[in-house]
Structure 1
């Protein structure tokens, strides 16, 4: 198998990316440790892989020199992981759950290296872990918000990667909580998380069926979902402030994924000598690092059209998740396509 070269770059700029990332909990750079990430695609995609690049760069203020390999093929995963681990990288990330199997094979040979699958849902003791944010909790809030803002009492979701655990969690959470709030829910899955045209077509189909509030979990295709809402003048939620700019009157809020805080929290503990061998999920019950938040624009969580009474309901729901009063584990049936 070909050996992957290590590419080092300083700084990060993701033009037009739909993810807003902070450096919560960072401390002065010591550059004593090294962290690398394997990416399934190009860092210039302004989507999923651009996010992965920004994640590893966010570790620099935590004292890590960073590197990345892009366009890593399935057959090259093991070699790439070994390449970084053998060069003294204390953290090696793979940008999706697909890297877990290769990590489980390689990790026993490098017991002091922390292997991390971004947005995965599995782990292997003592040093293979997955990290994600609690899609069920935030999906549930989107369900409540959508139901409360709907006049037709019909809401819709557009998602990709049917059956992937975090998609099941968010789509299922959306359906469960929108239904509990009195709305009829219809879900459509598309084939390509990056295909804006396909997402727009699916969204228009939902609107034709009477849905007047839309949501979803897509990558670059999220823009197509918002464009459909703009064309038909219905409410929608997004995944970053760029979506607000497309339709400021109609975007109710965006889920802002805080990967730097999640990864940084783990990285600080790894520097202190701790290793993780499980799935770590951040949510309202893991404050102050909750993994995600809502943002309409900087400093404002929701569009002003959202009534204060609805915001209060959403805040109460967050508190209930935080205290453990409310728990939600959506099933594949909850996340099913259709109504």
Structure 2
């Protein structure tokens, strides 16, 4: 054998086997550690759940609730939901999620607050949140909503300024519910202050577009030439009536603008992902809430809602610049706290 030949070989069979064995061992260890890391991350991930009064496929209120839940994934939450929760089953459903270690348990309307107040004392580390409620109980039952009075007031001013007949009107549901009272009452107060005569009609079903359209047509027949309202799927009926009779209307989303671009002046576009996202971030940081948290111009940058005709465009081109300035000035007054409004049930009453 020539000197140096052994050194020129890539490696003996025995050495190669040992190297492969070591590689397999290291690879297995890496996979195991990675698996343990993933499992630890999954175990550490916070969990959020929502109870819905209806189906996530309703293309309305409950579909919105489902989308709110999904938005929490970007805040580090694993999510779960229960649909079609009956009144009698609320407490049991809340307790079920809380007992499984869910950090945030939501109910998609103020109706869940009573059940939350029953269950919450047994689960002090769970934050219970009523979406669109108006009550809380220390230390861990809260409601979240946007400031319906502020935006209702702006819509009232806008309606009065855009009306040619001096008559404006609103179609609402759920008479007496606090956020409806806030928005409808503020609409009346601010439209009246701006010189318009206001009529309000309540319909029985927030989802019944046909009934809402009929109510809107009756208001138009009485001389109203600017309409508004706070409804779920039924708002489409109000917009359809406005389009048929060629009067102005405000809606709740860009779908209304697309349906009647020449008639819609703006929409109150609710920003639930920002409201709930900010709230749950604070909950994760260790801050419990036991109150009603309301977002508006005075809580910027998270205002809870925006007036938008289209993405990036607050108002229809038909709204004069002078009116836009008035509305912007009003928003600035709400932001600074120099303007406050507290509508009553009398302000939100049915009729004129």
Q: 1:119-134 residue pairs with structure 2 within 5 A?
A: 119-134=132-147
TM-score with structure 1 setting the length: 0.91
Q: Confirm or deny that 1:267 pairs with 2:280.
A: yes
Aligned counterparts, 1:168-187, within 5 A: 168-187=181-200
Where 2:151 maps in the other structure, the secondary structure is helix
Q: Kindly report which structure 2 residues correspond to 1:81-96, keeping only aligned pairs within 5 A, or say none.
A: 81-96=94-109
Q: Deviations over 1:78-109 (max 9, x none)?
A: 11001100111000000000000000000000
Is 1:49 aligned with 2:85?
Answer: no
Alignment-derived partner of residue 5 in structure 2: none
Unaligned runs of 5+ in 1: 1-28
In structure 1, what is the equivalent of residue 209 of structure 2?
196
SS in 2 for 1:248: coil
Query: What are the superposed Cα offsets for residues 158-210 of structure 1, whole Å, 9 maximum, x if unpaired?
Result: 00000000000000000000000000000000000000000000000000000
Measured against aligned partners, the alpha-carbon deviations of 1:302-327 in whole angstroms (never above 9, x if no partner) come to 00000011000000000001111100
Give matches, 1:291-306, under 5 Å.
Answer: 291-306=304-319
For the pair 1:73 / 2:67, whether they are aligned, the reply is no
In 1, the alpha carbon distance for the partners of 2:165 and 2:44 equals 55
Q: 1:299 Cα deviation (Å)?
A: 1.3
Equivalence for 2:149: 136
**In structure 2, C-alpha distance between the alignment counterparts of 1:305 and 1:215, rounded to whole Å:** 17
Deviation at 1:234, TM superposition (A): 0.1
Separation of aligned partners in 1, 2:286 and 2:333: 33
SS class of match (2:198): strand
Flag the 1:31–1:316 CA change in 2: closer, same or farther, 3 A. Answer: farther
Distance in 2 of aligned mates of 1:309 and 1:32: 50
| More helix per residue | 2
Which of residues 148, 154, 158 is equivalent to 2:161?
148
Retained in 2: the 8 A contact 1:124–1:278?
yes
**Distance (Å, rounded) in 2 between the aligned partners of 1:31 and 1:227:** 49
The 4+ residue runs of structure 1 with deviation greater than 2 A are: none
Contact 1:36 1:84 in 2 (8 A): yes
Look up the match of 1:165: 178
Q: In structure 2, the residue corresponding to 1:84 is in which secondary structure?
A: helix
Structure with larger Rg: 2
Long gaps (5+) in structure 2: 1-41
After superposition, the C-alpha distances for 1:13-44 in whole angstroms (9 at most, x for unaligned) are: xxxxxxxxxxxxxxxx9971000000000000
TM-score by length of 2: 0.88
Aligned equivalents of 2:292, 2:229: Cα separation in 1: 24
Cα distance in 2 between the residues matched to 1:67 and 1:170? 31
Check conservation: 1:30, 1:63, Cα contact below 8 A.
no
Contact 1:31-1:64 at 8 Å conserved across structures: no
- Corresponding residue for 2:76? 63
Q: Check if 1:283 corresponds to 2:303.
A: no
Deviation per CA, 1:122-147: give whole Å up to 9, x if none. Answer: 00000000000000000000000000
Of 210, 213, 221, which aligns to 1:208? 221
Give the superposed CA RMSD.
1.0
For residues 98 and 185 of structure 1, what CA distance do their matches in structure 2 show?
30
Aligned counterparts of 1:297 and 1:317: Cα–Cα separation in 2: 21
Q: Which of 251, 259, 272 is the aligned partner of 1:238?
A: 251
Matched residue count: 311
Q: Tell me the SS of whatever aligns to 2:137.
A: coil
SS in 2 for 1:58: helix
| Higher relative contact order (Cα pairs below 8 Å, separated by 6+ residues) | 1
Determine if contact 1:196/1:223 at 8 Å carries over to the other structure: yes
